[in-house]
Structure 1
Amino acid sequence: MTDDAPTAPGYQDALAELDEILRELEGSDVDVDRLADRVERASELIALCRDKISSARVRIRQVTTDLDAGAAAEPS
């Protein structure tokens, strides 16, 4: 059995796609038929980026907590 679900883009890929959408929306020839879809996709990408930043924050906090605990446990 194969997993056909698309994988979420990485942070850099999401930012690049957001940049592309922004340029498209700022252009004078915005395709109104696609406008709602593009804004919806931008919203999804923003949420994904926020989740990745939040996850990184948690991981960094855990690493620094572990480092602090290790330093406190070392004999002087």
Structure 2
Amino acid sequence: MTYEEAYRELEQIAQEIEHETVSVDVLAEKVKRASDLITLCQTRLKATEGEINKIIARMEKNTEG
């Protein structure tokens, strides 16, 4: 699952909960799924941030040398 897919699904779950279109019987499932999606998104963002920081550090090193 891509970050964008996870984010879209998370938005959909949030809208369902906000508009109270989720029955009480499936609410816990939706909240659990949202939690999993948030974790996935955070992991992807942290990994991307790490990669960007490495690239920037290499670029800075190349301009200093």
TM-score (norm 2): 0.92
Gaps of 5+ in 1: 1-8
Q: 2:4 aligns with which of 12, 16, 38?
A: 12
Correspondence for 2:23: 31
1:12-53, Cα deviation, whole Å (9 max, x unpaired): 111100011011111234211111000000000001111011
- Given residue 34 of structure 1, which amino acid in structure 2 is its aligned partner? V
Measured in 2, the distance between the counterparts of 1:30 and 1:13 equals 20
Measured in 1, the distance between the counterparts of 2:51 and 2:21 equals 43
- What percent of counterpart residues are identical? 32
Measured in 1, the distance between the counterparts of 2:45 and 2:8 equals 16
Q: CA RMSD in A?
A: 1.0
- Given residue 17 of structure 2, which amino acid in structure 1 is its aligned partner? L
Query: For the pair shown, which has the larger CA radius of gyration, 1 or 2?
Result: 1
4+ residue runs over 6 A deviation = none
Correspondence for 1:47: 39
| Structure with the largest fraction of helix | 2
1:25 partner SS: helix
- Given residue 41 of structure 2, which amino acid in structure 1 is its aligned partner? C
TM-score (norm 1): 0.80
Q: How many residues align?
A: 65
Correspondence for 2:61: 69
Q: Tell me: CA distance 1:29–1:70, structure 2 relative to 1, closer, same or farther (3 Å).
A: closer
